[in-house]
A and B are shown apart, each in its own frame.
Chain A
Amino acid sequence: MSMDVVEFKGVSKSFGKRRVLDRLDLHIPQGKITFILGKSGEGKSVTIKHIMGLLKPDAGQIIVDGEDIVGKTKEEFRQYRKKFGMLFQHAALFDSMTVGENVLFPLMEHHRTTMQTMLTRVEEVLAQVGLPNIQHKYPTELSTGEKKRVGLARALVTKPHIILYDEPTTGMDPLVSEMIDGLIVQMSKEEQELTSIVISHDLKAALQTADYIVFLYQGKVALAGTPAAFRAAKDPVVRQFFSGKVEGPMEFL
């Protein structure tokens, strides 16, 4: 296995009395597509917010590109975040701006070139997610799936070397889901160094798309490995997640 780009060592995080991450140890390989699976409310979004430094762990270390990020100052985090692109679970588009302005935002902030170059890039990336000609619409005029794709365009526009996708295909029709999974794979092929971290509860997509899968359960990694390892897994919790049955060892809080 290649080098790890992200490593969690004994990371714990509680909200009030609820312990969401419980001494979590996690490895994410560099230059690969890693899926983080788990049922909803399991702490998947919380996990990637830790990677971005949007949440601070109560305990433990988070090592990204070889350095522990936990003690970083606000200013250091600002520099650090420039290498990421992130798609939020609910897209989190700025609703005071048009679609075009939303996608342009990270370019204007940190990757300023000529306006013409930036606008061309915005068009290009919107076409990539299958939404040409909607630049002048406002986010409130879009469907959930469209918002998500604009959020995806915004995450990709700066060509970051680590991309975090929080449930990129949840709530989308099968065709668009397929297109997005295809896009993730295609970008990963084009750019050897690109690390993609995808949060999902879509096991089928994970088995098809991922190079590496991490399965979260009760604040810990229940199983991590290649899709092949997952297909062969005997762990009853993993098997239950595979089969999608309510009865089984998995606890629903």
Chain B
Amino acid sequence: MSEAVSAKKLPVAVSAVEWLGRGIIGMYAEWLYFVGFVRQVVVWTVRRPHRVGLLFTHMEFIGNQSLNIIIGAGVAVGAVFGLQIGAIFVVFRAESMMGAATGKALCQELAPLITAILITGRAGAAMTAEIATMKVNEQVDAMEAMATDPISYLVVPRVLASILIMPLLCSVFIFTGVLGSFLAGTLLFHVDEGLFVQKITTLVTSKDIWRGLSKAFVFAAIMAVICCRYGLRASGGAKGVGIATTNAVVVTLLAMLAVDVVLTYFQIMW
């Protein structure tokens, strides 16, 4: 009896080790694939043909069509953050500082991160869904059969468009966010308009803005590369497209947050 149990237990232990091993090897293979993918993207960015027409199409899709969302979100986030900061600062009679505090937070963190999250939901998900649909319908195979590299045609224009547009959208977010906090400050906390602006211009430096824009740039690259990669590896019909899209969005957001921590650390410490 006990012999039978231990004989049964051993395979379980072995298969657990095997399972773990497979998992690690799988992750390693995945990582290698990803590194290779990024390298290909870089190579095809430099190499001809440069697809300027496609670049503009994607810039228009990512940028122009997301502008309303970014403006709306900017005003809302700026106002809400302004209110919360204002409620604390008013205790110290420092409510004139609230614009500066909101501005700094917007530039360094809120604007790049929230812009990137919104654009991932809108444009990143669409990138994955589009490319994945092409993949499961053999359109990607057809493209390869016609001697066109899908990375050159599908991925590079999307990556370039993203990294060109995301910092712009981030700037819009900062501007509208400050506007939101200005409205909250002047209307609800009766901060003097001149003082509000003066504090911002003296306390928010160009360094703050550059930190934010460089984050937006990095987030854009992360989003486009991950979303395209999940699209190109999709399989299994409409369901596969759905799975690829969900995974792409989740992985993109997690990767952004992780990179955000590292970037912020270096930006603050150095």
Using A81-B146, A82-B147, A109-B146 as known contacts, say yes or no to A90 and B137 having CB atoms under 8 A apart. yes
How many angstroms from the CA of A78 to the CA of B150 in the assembled complex? Answer: 11
Do residues A52 and B139 form an inter-chain contact, with CB atoms below 8 A?
A: no
The listed residue (B130, B141, B148) touching A109 by CB distance below 8 A is: B148
The listed residue (B49, B137, B141, B147) touching A78 by CB distance below 8 A is: B147
Q: How near does chain A come to B80, taking the closest CB pair, in angstroms?
A: 39
Q: How large is the interface on B (under 10, 10 to 19, 20 to 34, 35 or more residues)?
A: 10 to 19
How many angstroms from the CA of A88 to the CA of B136 in the assembled complex? Answer: 13
Do residues A81 and B144 form an inter-chain contact, with CB atoms below 8 A?
A: yes
Chain B, range 85-103, C-beta contacts under 8 Å to A: none
Please, which residue of chain B has its CB at the minimum distance from the CB of A105?
B146
Q: Which of A5-13, A92-100, A199-207, A211-219 contacts B (4 or more CB under 8 A)?
A: A92-100
The listed residue (B142, B147, B148) touching A88 by CB distance below 8 A is: B142
How many angstroms from the CA of A81 to the CA of B144 in the assembled complex? Answer: 8
Do residues A88 and B149 form an inter-chain contact, with CB atoms below 8 A?
A: no
How many angstroms from the CA of A86 to the CA of B141 in the assembled complex? Answer: 10
**Per-position binary interface string of chain A over residues 187-229, scored 1 when its CB falls under 8 Å from any chain B CB and 0 otherwise:** 0000000000000000000000000000000000000000000
B141, B143, B145, B148 — most chain A CB neighbours (10 Å): B145
Chain A, range 69-107, C-beta contacts under 8 Å to B: 74, 77-79, 81-82, 84, 86, 88-90, 92-96, 105-106
Q: How near does chain A come to B137, taking the closest CB pair, in angstroms?
A: 6
The answer to the question of A17 belonging to the interface, with a C-beta cut-off of 8 Å to chain B, is no
Do residues B145 and A86 form an inter-chain contact, with CB atoms below 8 A?
A: yes
Chain B, range 117-163, C-beta contacts under 8 Å to A: 130, 134, 137-139, 141-149
Q: How near does chain A come to B10, taking the closest CB pair, in angstroms?
A: 26
How many angstroms from the CA of A105 to the CA of B144 in the assembled complex? Answer: 12
How many angstroms from the CA of A94 to the CA of B130 in the assembled complex? Answer: 11
Tell me how many residue pairs across A and B have CB atoms closer than 8 Å: 54
Q: How large is the interface on A (under 10, 10 to 19, 20 to 34, 35 or more residues)?
A: 20 to 34
List chain A residues, Cβ under 8 A from B144.
52, 54, 77, 81
Please, which residue of chain B has its CB at the minimum distance from the CB of A79?
B147
Please, which residue of chain A has its CB at the minimum distance from the CB of B153?
A109
How many angstroms from the CA of A82 to the CA of B149 in the assembled complex? Answer: 12
Please, which residue of chain A has its CB at the minimum distance from the CB of B57?
A96
List chain B residues, Cβ under 8 A from A89.
138
List chain B residues, Cβ under 8 A from A96.
130
Please, which residue of chain A has its CB at the minimum distance from the CB of B138?
A92
The answer to the question of A110 belonging to the interface, with a C-beta cut-off of 8 Å to chain B, is yes
Chain A, range 93-144, C-beta contacts under 8 Å to B: 93-96, 105-106, 109-110
Q: How near does chain B come to A187, taking the closest CB pair, in angstroms?
A: 19
Please, which residue of chain B has its CB at the minimum distance from the CB of A94?
B139
List chain A residues, Cβ under 8 A from B49.
109
The answer to the question of A161 belonging to the interface, with a C-beta cut-off of 8 Å to chain B, is no
Please, which residue of chain A has its CB at the minimum distance from the CB of B130?
A96
How many angstroms from the CA of A77 to the CA of B150 in the assembled complex? Answer: 13
25 residue pairs from A and B, CB less than 8 Å apart: A52-B144, A54-B141, A54-B144, A74-B149, A78-B147, A81-B144, A81-B146, A81-B147, A86-B142, A86-B145, A88-B141, A90-B137, A92-B141, A93-B139, A93-B142, A94-B139, A94-B143, A95-B137, A105-B148, A106-B147, A109-B49, A109-B146, A110-B147, A110-B148, A154-B146
Excluding A54-B145, A92-B142, 11 further A-B contacts by CB distance (< 8 Å) are: A78-B148, A84-B145, A86-B146, A88-B141, A88-B145, A93-B139, A93-B142, A94-B134, A94-B142, A105-B146, A154-B146
Q: What 8 A-B pairs come out closest when comparing CB atoms?
A: A92-B142, A92-B138, A81-B147, A86-B145, A106-B146, A82-B147, A109-B148, A78-B147
